[in-house]
Structure 1
């Protein structure tokens, strides 16, 4: 048991202290965004908005996220990741506190748009910082540590949020959200000031390549958008499927979804550490992760046995654990070819776009066609994602072979 524990701890070794601080800041920030899970309840119960109103507000939420990610990437390339992160965190804190005072539909749409615009400026800047503070061989595990922090934050946030609503009110959520963002800013200023820290992988590119002209990266982005749409069904339409078709209670649904976070927390880092030491490429691993995620939907239509829900959750969880860290590491590797902020912004935008369309599309399909047909359509989207990742793998292999041939010709010429 002791050996097993030591082996688990060793999977975290070699990461810089700055990466650990980034993980802590992310944990504080994500645990603080406890307004988000309760937003629809707050809008309908406290502000008495209609479901149609809530739908438009969530669209404003998504559009703000897309523009914020793009703007964050642009500013990161212009003024650096540190200034963008500080501005994003402290301003988001103030905006969250102010959001509770907006009570009309139009004002709340504008307010949530601004909150998400400023909040998601943080993401591309954080990814560039993560790349700078990670040795090349540790980038995938560094990403995995940040994912663990995000998962812990999202797990703790709703629980803390429920307590705050019960003891204080919905207004208390906005105050706590705002204060935690400001606290994260203070931690960031004290531990990640560029004057006090040392980068481990500084990229200086005098002739940066535009991400928009990087064919491999564009194929990758479309694949990730599709993967995002597929993956997000587990957090929107799938809980409805559990309840309406298999008649699970809220407690059962919570345990099933909680299993996802627990497995990620326990197994993701050792799994990534092991996969890094194999001969598999990042593109190949992303493809395998997408296959597992797609399978998690199609098997639901094969049997009415309730145990298939656990199998589906396990397939999705392992697919997620493989696809996300290696896709993030792939994006950071490609970003070295050009403007890092631009690359990481587009990577963030791919998932923001998935958020805009994924939840709504799943709901509309289940309403019109039913769950079985919806799972077939989602599986087809997963298959298209796999196809694009296969094309990406072939494209990268052809470029690699061409480079080797050109190198051999140059040696012969010399």
Structure 2
């Protein structure tokens, strides 16, 4: 047991202190975004919005995320990741506090749209910072550490958020969200001053390639958008499937979803460290992750046995653990060819687009054709995703492109 624990701890060795600070800042920030899981409840119960209006609010949320990611990439290339991160975090804090005072449908749509523009400017800047503070051989594990922080934040946030709603009110969520963003900004200024921090991978490209002209990267982005649409079903249509078809309670659904976070926390870092030392390429590993994720949907149609839900969740979790870190590392490696902010902005935008279409498309399919057909369609989208990544692998090989 002690040897197993030591081996687990060793998987975190070699990462720079700046990467650990970035992970802590991300943990504080993501734990603070506890408004988001309760947004639909707040809008329907406190503001009496209709479900149709909530749908438009979520569309404004997704559109703001797309614009914010694009703008964050542009600003990162112009003024640097540090300034973008500080200004985005600090402004987001004050905007979250102010959001509670918007009570009409139009004003709330505008408010959440503006917040997401400012908040998601942080993401491409953070990825560029992560690239700068990581040694080339540690980039995938650095991304994995940030993912652990995000998962811990998302796990703790809703639990604390529910407690705040019960003891204070929904208004308390907005205050806590805002204050945690401001605290994360203070920590960022204290520990990641670029004049003092160690930059381990400085990339100077005198003739940067535009990400918009990088065919391989566009193939990659298309595959990631499809993967995002499939993956997001686990946070919209899948809980409905658990409840409506298998009659699971909210508590049981929570345990099943919590299984995902637990396995990521325990297994992802050792798994990534082991895979990094194999002969497989990043596109090859992305294909394997996508295959497992597709299988997680298809097994659900094979039997009505309730245990298949655990099998499906495990397949999806392992697929996610492989696909996301290596796709992120691929994007950071590819970004060295040009303006890093531009590349990382497009990478984050691909998932913002998945949010805009994924939830709505899944729910519409379930409503029109039922769960079994929806899982088959998701499997078909997954096969297209796998095909695109395979084409990407062949394209890179044909052009002798290792990035």
| Both proteins in one fold, TM over 0.5 | yes
1:154 aligns with 2:154: yes
1:281 matched to which residue of 2?
A: 281
- The correspondence of residues 141-290 of structure 1 with structure 2, limited to 5 A, is 141-290=141-290
CA distance in 2, matches of 1:247, 1:173: 31
- The correspondence of residues 357-368 of structure 1 with structure 2, limited to 5 A, is 357-368=357-368
| 1:231-257: CA deviation from partner (whole Å, max 9, x where unpaired) | 000010000000000111111111100
Superposition deviation, residue 165 in structure 1: 0.4
Superposition deviation, residue 104 in structure 1: 0.5
1:22 matched to which residue of 2?
A: 22
CA distance in 2, matches of 1:140, 1:197: 20
Superposition deviation, residue 3 in structure 1: 0.6
Superposition deviation, residue 109 in structure 1: 0.3
Q: TM-score, normalised by structure 1?
A: 0.97
CA distance in 1, matches of 2:307, 2:29: 36
2:312 matched to which residue of 1?
A: 312
2:33 matched to which residue of 1?
A: 33
2:60 matched to which residue of 1?
A: 60
| 1:188-226: CA deviation from partner (whole Å, max 9, x where unpaired) | 000001111120001111100000111110000000000
CA distance in 2, matches of 1:78, 1:295: 43
Superposition deviation, residue 59 in structure 1: 0.3
CA distance in 1, matches of 2:400, 2:53: 51
1:294 matched to which residue of 2?
A: 294
1:104 matched to which residue of 2?
A: 104
CA distance in 2, matches of 1:201, 1:295: 38
Match of 1:134, SS? coil
2:337 matched to which residue of 1?
A: 337
- The correspondence of residues 1-20 of structure 1 with structure 2, limited to 5 A, is 1-20=1-20
Superposition deviation, residue 58 in structure 1: 0.4
Superposition deviation, residue 82 in structure 1: 0.1
2:377 matched to which residue of 1?
A: 377
CA distance in 2, matches of 1:79, 1:212: 20
CA distance in 2, matches of 1:363, 1:181: 32
| 1:102-145: CA deviation from partner (whole Å, max 9, x where unpaired) | 00000000000001000000000000000000000000000000
Superposition deviation, residue 296 in structure 1: 0.5
Q: Size of the alignment, in residue pairs?
A: 402
Match of 2:303, SS? coil
CA distance in 1, matches of 2:222, 2:103: 37
Superposition deviation, residue 303 in structure 1: 0.8
- The correspondence of residues 377-396 of structure 1 with structure 2, limited to 5 A, is 377-396=377-396
Match of 1:48, SS? coil
CA distance in 1, matches of 2:201, 2:132: 5
CA distance in 2, matches of 1:156, 1:241: 25
CA distance in 1, matches of 2:276, 2:198: 25
Superposition deviation, residue 378 in structure 1: 0.5
1:409 matched to which residue of 2?
A: none
CA distance in 2, matches of 1:394, 1:179: 48
CA distance in 2, matches of 1:306, 1:168: 38
CA distance in 1, matches of 2:279, 2:187: 39
Superposition deviation, residue 29 in structure 1: 0.1
CA distance in 2, matches of 1:23, 1:42: 29
CA distance in 2, matches of 1:50, 1:306: 34
Bigger-Rg structure (1/2): 1
1:140 matched to which residue of 2?
A: 140
Unaligned runs of 5+ in 2: none
CA distance in 1, matches of 2:252, 2:197: 46
CA distance in 1, matches of 2:219, 2:288: 17
Unaligned runs of 5+ in 1: 404-414
Q: TM-score, normalised by structure 2?
A: 0.99
Superposition deviation, residue 397 in structure 1: 1.2
CA distance in 2, matches of 1:151, 1:198: 26
